[in-house]
Amino acid sequence: MTNVLLEKKGHYAVATINRPKALNALNSQVLEDLDELIGLVNADEEIRALVLTGAGEKAFVAGADIGEMSTLTKAEGEAFGKKGNDIFRKLETMPIPVIAAINGFALGGGCELSMSCDIRICADTAVFGQPEVGLGITPGFGGTQRLARLISPGMAKQLIYTARNIKADEALRIGLVNAIYPAAELMAAAEKMADTIAKNAPIAVRACKKAINEGLDADMDEALVIEEKLFGSCFETADQAEGMGAFLEKRKHEPYQNK
Protein backbone atom coordinates (compact mmCIF):
# COMPACT_ATOMS: atom_id res chain seq x y z
CA MET A 1 0.00 0.00 0.00
CA THR A 2 1.57 3.29 -1.09
CA ASN A 3 -1.60 5.36 -1.22
CA VAL A 4 -2.74 4.55 2.31
CA LEU A 5 -0.39 4.57 5.31
CA LEU A 6 -1.05 2.70 8.54
CA GLU A 7 0.59 3.53 11.85
CA LYS A 8 -0.17 1.49 14.95
CA LYS A 9 -0.08 3.34 18.27
CA GLY A 10 -0.75 0.95 21.14
CA HIS A 11 -4.37 -0.16 20.89
CA TYR A 12 -5.40 2.30 18.18
CA ALA A 13 -4.08 3.07 14.72
CA VAL A 14 -3.93 6.03 12.35
CA ALA A 15 -4.58 5.52 8.63
CA THR A 16 -3.67 8.28 6.19
CA ILE A 17 -4.87 8.58 2.60
CA ASN A 18 -1.58 9.44 0.95
CA ARG A 19 -1.87 11.08 -2.44
CA PRO A 20 -1.31 14.70 -1.47
CA LYS A 21 -0.28 15.94 -4.95
CA ALA A 22 -3.84 15.20 -6.13
CA LEU A 23 -5.36 16.34 -2.81
CA ASN A 24 -5.79 12.64 -1.92
CA ALA A 25 -8.33 12.14 -4.74
CA LEU A 26 -9.67 8.60 -4.87
CA ASN A 27 -8.55 6.77 -8.00
CA SER A 28 -8.89 2.98 -8.38
CA GLN A 29 -5.49 2.39 -6.79
CA VAL A 30 -6.31 4.45 -3.70
CA LEU A 31 -9.62 2.60 -3.37
CA GLU A 32 -7.85 -0.76 -3.62
CA ASP A 33 -5.31 0.30 -1.00
CA LEU A 34 -8.15 1.39 1.26
CA ASP A 35 -9.74 -2.02 0.79
CA GLU A 36 -6.45 -3.70 1.73
CA LEU A 37 -6.10 -1.44 4.77
CA ILE A 38 -9.56 -2.44 6.03
CA GLY A 39 -8.58 -6.12 5.70
CA LEU A 40 -5.32 -5.55 7.60
CA VAL A 41 -6.98 -3.66 10.44
CA ASN A 42 -9.81 -6.20 10.72
CA ALA A 43 -7.24 -8.99 11.03
CA ASP A 44 -5.31 -7.23 13.80
CA GLU A 45 -6.87 -7.91 17.19
CA GLU A 46 -4.66 -5.32 18.88
CA ILE A 47 -6.32 -2.42 17.05
CA ARG A 48 -9.44 -1.30 18.90
CA ALA A 49 -10.13 2.04 17.17
CA LEU A 50 -8.99 3.69 13.94
CA VAL A 51 -8.41 7.33 12.99
CA LEU A 52 -8.68 8.12 9.26
CA THR A 53 -7.16 11.31 7.85
CA GLY A 54 -5.59 12.76 4.70
CA ALA A 55 -1.92 13.51 3.97
CA GLY A 56 -0.82 17.13 3.67
CA GLU A 57 -2.35 20.28 5.08
CA LYS A 58 -4.92 21.01 2.39
CA ALA A 59 -7.18 18.04 1.99
CA PHE A 60 -8.81 15.13 3.69
CA VAL A 61 -9.93 13.83 0.27
CA ALA A 62 -10.95 16.17 -2.61
CA GLY A 63 -13.23 13.58 -4.18
CA ALA A 64 -13.13 10.70 -6.57
CA ASP A 65 -10.51 11.14 -9.29
CA ILE A 66 -12.09 13.33 -11.98
CA GLY A 67 -9.39 12.45 -14.56
CA GLU A 68 -10.06 8.74 -14.17
CA MET A 69 -13.85 9.21 -14.27
CA SER A 70 -13.92 11.60 -17.22
CA THR A 71 -13.93 8.91 -19.95
CA LEU A 72 -16.05 6.24 -18.28
CA THR A 73 -18.94 4.63 -20.14
CA LYS A 74 -22.31 4.07 -18.50
CA ALA A 75 -21.36 0.50 -17.50
CA GLU A 76 -17.90 1.55 -16.30
CA GLY A 77 -19.44 4.40 -14.29
CA GLU A 78 -21.79 1.99 -12.56
CA ALA A 79 -18.90 -0.39 -11.86
CA PHE A 80 -16.76 2.45 -10.42
CA GLY A 81 -19.69 3.46 -8.18
CA LYS A 82 -20.05 -0.13 -7.00
CA LYS A 83 -16.34 -0.39 -6.30
CA GLY A 84 -16.45 2.70 -4.08
CA ASN A 85 -19.74 1.71 -2.46
CA ASP A 86 -18.54 -1.82 -1.62
CA ILE A 87 -15.33 -0.55 -0.02
CA PHE A 88 -17.04 2.28 1.88
CA ARG A 89 -19.64 -0.20 3.17
CA LYS A 90 -16.79 -2.42 4.41
CA LEU A 91 -15.37 0.62 6.20
CA GLU A 92 -18.76 1.50 7.69
CA THR A 93 -19.26 -2.06 8.97
CA MET A 94 -15.75 -2.61 10.35
CA PRO A 95 -16.20 -4.03 13.85
CA ILE A 96 -14.17 -1.26 15.50
CA PRO A 97 -15.03 2.46 15.61
CA VAL A 98 -13.51 4.70 12.94
CA ILE A 99 -12.98 8.43 13.55
CA ALA A 100 -12.61 10.68 10.49
CA ALA A 101 -10.15 13.49 11.28
CA ILE A 102 -11.05 15.88 8.45
CA ASN A 103 -8.05 18.08 7.91
CA GLY A 104 -9.17 20.11 4.87
CA PHE A 105 -11.26 19.59 1.72
CA ALA A 106 -13.81 16.78 2.07
CA LEU A 107 -15.58 17.06 -1.27
CA GLY A 108 -17.60 14.52 -3.23
CA GLY A 109 -16.08 11.10 -2.51
CA GLY A 110 -14.15 12.72 0.37
CA CYS A 111 -17.31 13.85 2.13
CA GLU A 112 -18.77 10.41 1.37
CA LEU A 113 -15.69 8.71 2.85
CA SER A 114 -16.05 10.71 6.06
CA MET A 115 -19.73 9.76 6.26
CA SER A 116 -18.78 6.07 6.16
CA CYS A 117 -16.87 6.59 9.42
CA ASP A 118 -18.53 6.41 12.83
CA ILE A 119 -17.49 9.85 14.06
CA ARG A 120 -16.41 13.02 12.20
CA ILE A 121 -14.32 15.79 13.73
CA CYS A 122 -12.64 18.47 11.63
CA ALA A 123 -10.11 21.25 11.44
CA ASP A 124 -11.34 24.85 11.34
CA THR A 125 -9.99 24.90 7.76
CA ALA A 126 -12.17 22.01 6.56
CA VAL A 127 -14.54 22.44 3.62
CA PHE A 128 -17.38 20.02 2.86
CA GLY A 129 -19.58 19.55 -0.17
CA GLN A 130 -21.08 17.29 -2.78
CA PRO A 131 -20.08 19.13 -5.99
CA GLU A 132 -21.09 16.32 -8.34
CA VAL A 133 -24.07 17.89 -10.12
CA GLY A 134 -21.74 20.73 -11.08
CA LEU A 135 -19.70 18.09 -12.94
CA GLY A 136 -22.69 16.42 -14.57
CA ILE A 137 -22.94 13.38 -12.27
CA THR A 138 -24.63 12.33 -9.04
CA PRO A 139 -22.74 11.62 -5.82
CA GLY A 140 -21.59 8.06 -6.43
CA PHE A 141 -20.01 6.67 -3.27
CA GLY A 142 -23.09 6.75 -1.02
CA GLY A 143 -23.63 10.52 -0.78
CA THR A 144 -27.28 10.52 -1.80
CA GLN A 145 -27.99 7.92 0.88
CA ARG A 146 -25.74 8.71 3.83
CA LEU A 147 -26.04 12.52 3.79
CA ALA A 148 -29.85 12.29 3.79
CA ARG A 149 -29.71 9.89 6.74
CA LEU A 150 -27.05 11.76 8.68
CA ILE A 151 -28.40 15.32 8.49
CA SER A 152 -31.95 16.37 7.61
CA PRO A 153 -33.16 15.14 4.20
CA GLY A 154 -34.07 18.72 3.24
CA MET A 155 -30.58 20.05 4.01
CA ALA A 156 -28.98 17.06 2.26
CA LYS A 157 -31.04 17.78 -0.83
CA GLN A 158 -30.11 21.48 -0.71
CA LEU A 159 -26.38 20.71 -0.48
CA ILE A 160 -26.50 18.08 -3.23
CA TYR A 161 -28.74 20.05 -5.65
CA THR A 162 -26.84 23.33 -5.23
CA ALA A 163 -23.36 21.69 -5.17
CA ARG A 164 -22.45 24.43 -2.66
CA ASN A 165 -19.40 23.94 -0.44
CA ILE A 166 -19.74 24.67 3.26
CA LYS A 167 -17.17 25.56 5.90
CA ALA A 168 -16.53 23.80 9.19
CA ASP A 169 -18.86 26.00 11.26
CA GLU A 170 -21.83 25.23 8.99
CA ALA A 171 -20.93 21.52 8.98
CA LEU A 172 -21.08 21.62 12.79
CA ARG A 173 -24.39 23.50 12.80
CA ILE A 174 -26.11 20.96 10.52
CA GLY A 175 -24.70 17.96 12.41
CA LEU A 176 -22.29 16.71 9.76
CA VAL A 177 -19.37 16.91 12.22
CA ASN A 178 -19.26 16.54 16.00
CA ALA A 179 -16.54 19.11 16.75
CA ILE A 180 -14.11 21.61 15.20
CA TYR A 181 -10.49 22.03 16.32
CA PRO A 182 -7.71 24.42 15.31
CA ALA A 183 -5.95 22.60 12.46
CA ALA A 184 -2.78 22.03 14.51
CA GLU A 185 -4.79 20.35 17.29
CA LEU A 186 -7.00 18.07 15.18
CA MET A 187 -4.86 14.93 15.17
CA ALA A 188 -4.14 15.11 18.89
CA ALA A 189 -7.88 15.38 19.54
CA ALA A 190 -8.68 12.48 17.22
CA GLU A 191 -5.98 10.29 18.75
CA LYS A 192 -7.09 11.17 22.29
CA MET A 193 -10.64 10.09 21.37
CA ALA A 194 -9.35 6.85 19.78
CA ASP A 195 -7.23 6.13 22.88
CA THR A 196 -10.22 6.76 25.17
CA ILE A 197 -12.34 4.36 23.11
CA ALA A 198 -9.53 1.78 23.06
CA LYS A 199 -9.30 1.80 26.86
CA ASN A 200 -12.96 0.79 27.23
CA ALA A 201 -14.00 -2.87 27.05
CA PRO A 202 -13.40 -3.66 23.35
CA ILE A 203 -16.05 -6.38 23.01
CA ALA A 204 -18.64 -4.03 24.48
CA VAL A 205 -17.54 -1.16 22.20
CA ARG A 206 -17.83 -3.39 19.14
CA ALA A 207 -21.23 -4.61 20.30
CA CYS A 208 -22.40 -0.99 20.66
CA LYS A 209 -21.31 -0.23 17.08
CA LYS A 210 -23.09 -3.32 15.77
CA ALA A 211 -26.25 -2.55 17.77
CA ILE A 212 -26.38 1.07 16.58
CA ASN A 213 -25.63 0.30 12.92
CA GLU A 214 -27.88 -2.73 12.61
CA GLY A 215 -30.60 -1.17 14.77
CA LEU A 216 -30.80 1.88 12.51
CA ASP A 217 -31.64 -0.43 9.59
CA ALA A 218 -34.39 -2.26 11.53
CA ASP A 219 -37.75 -1.27 13.02
CA MET A 220 -37.75 -0.46 16.76
CA ASP A 221 -39.00 -3.88 17.91
CA GLU A 222 -36.33 -5.73 15.91
CA ALA A 223 -33.73 -3.13 16.91
CA LEU A 224 -34.37 -3.68 20.62
CA VAL A 225 -33.95 -7.45 20.15
CA ILE A 226 -30.61 -6.78 18.44
CA GLU A 227 -29.60 -4.76 21.51
CA GLU A 228 -30.81 -7.42 23.96
CA LYS A 229 -28.77 -10.16 22.29
CA LEU A 230 -25.60 -8.06 22.19
CA PHE A 231 -26.16 -6.89 25.79
CA GLY A 232 -26.52 -10.53 26.84
CA SER A 233 -23.38 -11.58 24.98
CA CYS A 234 -21.29 -9.21 27.12
CA PHE A 235 -22.06 -11.28 30.23
CA GLU A 236 -19.89 -14.14 29.08
CA THR A 237 -16.81 -11.90 28.78
CA ALA A 238 -13.93 -11.63 31.23
CA ASP A 239 -13.93 -7.85 30.73
CA GLN A 240 -17.52 -7.58 32.04
CA ALA A 241 -16.56 -9.65 35.12
CA GLU A 242 -13.54 -7.42 35.70
CA GLY A 243 -15.37 -4.13 35.03
CA MET A 244 -18.28 -4.85 37.36
CA GLY A 245 -16.08 -6.64 39.90
CA ALA A 246 -13.80 -3.62 40.12
CA PHE A 247 -16.77 -1.31 40.68
CA LEU A 248 -18.13 -3.48 43.48
CA GLU A 249 -14.71 -3.82 45.08
CA LYS A 250 -14.25 -0.03 44.82
CA ARG A 251 -11.04 -0.29 42.80
CA LYS A 252 -9.94 0.74 39.30
CA HIS A 253 -10.44 -2.00 36.76
CA GLU A 254 -7.41 -3.75 35.28
CA PRO A 255 -6.71 -2.91 31.62
CA TYR A 256 -9.35 -4.65 29.51
CA GLN A 257 -8.16 -7.81 27.79
CA ASN A 258 -10.54 -7.99 24.83
CA LYS A 259 -11.80 -11.29 26.19
Smallest separation, CB 42 to ligand CAA (Å): 24
Query: Based on the number of CB atoms within 10 Å of its own CB, is 154 exposed (0-12), middle (13-18) or buried (19 or more)?
Result: exposed
Q: Where does this chain touch ligand CAA (CB under 6 A) — which range of 37-45, 63-71, 154-162, 210-218? A: 63-71
> Per-residue x/- marks for ligand CAA, 85-114, CB under 6 A?
--------------------x-xxx--x--
Say how many residues touch ligand CAA, by CB under 6 A: 22
- The Cα–Cα gap between 126 and 111 comes to 11
Q: Which residues of 64-78 are buried (b: 16+ CB within 10 A; e: fewer)?
A: bbeebbeeeeeeeee
| C-alpha to C-alpha distances, 200 to 122, 226, 242, nearest whole angstrom | 24, 21, 12
Say whether residue 64 binds ligand CAA (CB under 6 A): yes
- 112 flagged as catalytic: yes
Helix (H, G, I), strand (E, B) or coil at 35: helix
Say whether residue 38 binds ligand CAA (CB under 6 A): no
- The Cα–Cα gap between 57 and 73 comes to 34
Smallest separation, CB 27 to ligand CAA (Å): 8
Say whether residue 202 binds ligand CAA (CB under 6 A): no
The residues in 127-156 that bind ligand CAA, with binding defined as CB under 6 A, are 131-132, 135, 139-141, 143
Q: What values do phi and psi take at 110, rounded to 5?
A: -75, -40
CA angle 201, 205, 206 (to 5 degrees): 120
- 170 flagged as catalytic: no
Say whether residue 34 binds ligand CAA (CB under 6 A): no
Say whether residue 126 binds ligand CAA (CB under 6 A): no
Say whether residue 72 binds ligand CAA (CB under 6 A): no
Please identify which residue in 30, 37, 62, 201 interacts with ligand CAA, judged by CB under 6 A.
62
Smallest separation, CB 154 to ligand CAA (Å): 20
One-letter amino acid at 151 equals I
Helix (H, G, I), strand (E, B) or coil at 3: coil
Say whether residue 54 binds ligand CAA (CB under 6 A): no
Instruction: Report the candidate in 146, 141, 135 with the shortest Cα–Cα distance to residue 81.
Output: 141
Residues assigned a catalytic role: 112, 132
Query: Where on the chain is the footprint of ligand CAA (CB under 6 A)?
Result: 22-23, 25, 62-67, 84, 105, 107-109, 112, 131-132, 135, 139-141, 143
